[in-house]
Amino acid sequence: MRRPRKLGREVAVVGAGMSKFGMFKDKDSKHLFAEAFNEMLSTVDKGIDPQAIDALYLGNFTNDFFVHQGHWGPIISDLIGLTPRPATRTEGACASSALALREGVFAVASGFYDVVLVGGVEEMSKRNTEEVTQGLAMAAIPYEVKAGFTFPGVFGATATAYFARYGANREHLMNVTIKSHNNARLNPKAQFNLSIRDIMNQRIERARNRGEPVPDWKDEKEFLRDPRTNPVVAWPMHLYDCCPISDGASCVLLVAGEMAREFSDVPLYVIGIGQGSGKGLHAKEDLTCFEATRYAAQEAYELSGLRPEDIQIAEVHDCFSIAEILHLEDLGFFKPGEGYTAVEEGLTRLDGAKPINTSGGLKCKGHPVGATGTGQLVEIWKQLRGEAGERQVPIKNLRIGAAHNLGGTGGTCTFTILERR
Amino acid sequence: MEERLFNDISYELFLSEDKLMGSRCRKCGVLFVPPRPICIKCYDGEMEWVEMKGKGKLAAFTCIAIGPPLMMKEGYDRKHPYVAGVVELEEGARVVARIEGVDGNKPETIRIGTPLQVEFLHRGEADDLVTFLAFRP
């Protein structure tokens, strides 16, 4: 019906960096972006003069509301000395920096620019939980907000529909959480770089030191079943099903494919890029999938000529545990209704057949919303270049990695495939 | 009533009058709740208002312990969660609504597929009057 998508010319990633993600009283958006930018510069194998950057695309969602400051493009452009070159802010809720990436890719592929910086920043922790919950809900659907839905609420309702349809239950969601924590334990940039077992041991130690009753959880699932340690946020989403409130920044440097080797010994080529939009809960044909993800994936697969089984590792948008399971299905990695059993069987673990969220995911690495999209690419960059340290996946001939980013309650979804040649 | 514009302002006004209304395309007959100003099936029709019977069944739900300030003001908190859900109407369309008459502290007792009846919750006074769409078993 429509002609196949294509890029005007190849685009490559030649540098990638992120700040530490976490809650920082002493760091603001500018500081966080400077951290990410400095790390990015250090990853360009052959070096880059920042003055060679033609333009900046910057994702940010909530700073207007949380720190009462908008118009972040020029602020960050000035921070890193890019003025008077253009700076454009992109907003797609939690997918804001994935949209920055897409705009950057199109700008280079069109031939207009050769070197473009894309990234994102978010500063969320200076507000309390209720205010953050309300702020994020600005990206939900108005009818949902009025009915009292929060972000965790929308995903909680999605989970009840999924459970009823496929026979999954809360215990299956715990497998996602345990895996994410195990991965994040190996990621020094993660907000929570502790396994569930580490957290249990800490609590036991603390109780002992204080002379309080020592908890006797026999395993991680018993810890997660304990309402004192894992209270309900929006049933069946509990505290450990939800990503945290985070501050952070990330960025990647894009150049025209033909210039990639001038900057990098191991550039990664953007071979697939897709984006979709989706409806609210009331209008979705199917409550147990995200049409925007399916569309974005189809677009990226088509452009790359790849199939889901060709993706060797992926970062997916696990804002809530149930979301990771749905994305595994929507991206075609597993059949509908089989995502939760795949996780249970360990297929998505670091040493599994299809490692997912090796960074610890949004759940443990952290989710400074506007920084997440390009932050996911930082992990794929490290993995594909064999620089992920202790959490390097043991896949031989690792070549293809992908990142899936979701905004709002599924209103904006993107899928990006990178290739090492 | 027939002259109201097909938008969310009219939808809210109808709710305040205890009516759950949708828009139906006069050309192709497809129904939208809440109303849409444009038929996204045939792109050709004019809309007409249709009142829902107010009967449906629960398609998805959540019991929210950490809610926005609006809900906290109504007395809900971590110990008293409220329930929000997706309701499939008898007419086929789905709406999102508050779910009343179920225990947010006992989610295991709330069943997908439970038959529900519409209810209109009027809150606030005078200029701040607002009506929330709700359903209860």
pLDDT by residue (tens digit) across B52-103? Answer: 999 999 999 999 999 888 888 899 999 999 999 999 999 999 999 999 999 9
Would B2 be classed as within a structural domain?
Answer: no
Q: Decide if A251 is catalytic.
A: no
CA A190 → CA A15, A21, A22, A134, A186, distances in Å? 20, 6, 7, 25, 9
Instruction: Give yes or no for residue B126 having a pLDDT over 90.
Output: no
The residues spanned by each domain of chain A are 11-128+244-420
pLDDT digits (tens, 9 = 90+) for A105-139: 999 999 999 999 999 999 999 988 878 888 888 88
A130 close contact with B: CB closer than 8 A: yes
Structural domain for B103, as ranges: 55-136
Tell how far CA B2 is from the center of its chain. Answer: 20
B28 close contact with A: CB closer than 8 A: no
Architecture of domain A11-128+244-420: 3-Layer(aba) Sandwich (3.40)
Looking at the structure, tell me whether residues B74 and B33 fall in a common domain. no
The residue-averaged pLDDT of A325-348 equals 98
Looking at the structure, tell me whether residues B90 and B110 fall in a common domain. yes
Say if the Cβ atoms of A157 and B85 lie within 8 Å: yes
Say if the Cβ atoms of A233 and B85 lie within 8 Å: no
Q: Measured between beta carbons, which residues in chain A are less than 8 angstroms from residue B95?
A: 143, 282
Give the number of other Cβ atoms within 10 Å of residue A21's Cβ: 30
Would B3 be classed as within a structural domain?
Answer: no
B72 close contact with A: CB closer than 8 A: yes
B69 close contact with A: CB closer than 8 A: yes
Helix or strand (DSSP H, E) at A361: helix A361-365
Cα(B43)–Cα(A352) distance, rounded to whole angstroms? 48
Q: How close does chain A come to B45, measured CA to CA in Å?
A: 20
B80 close contact with A: CB closer than 8 A: no
Give the number of other Cβ atoms within 10 Å of residue B117's Cβ: 14
| Interface ipTM | 0.95
CATH code for the domain of B63: 2.40.50
pLDDT at residue B128 in the model: 85
Say if the Cβ atoms of B62 and A283 lie within 8 Å: no
* Amino acid occupying residue A225: R
Catalytic residue among A181, A317, A367, A404: A367
Whether the CB-CB separation of A182 and A355 falls below 8 Å is answered with no
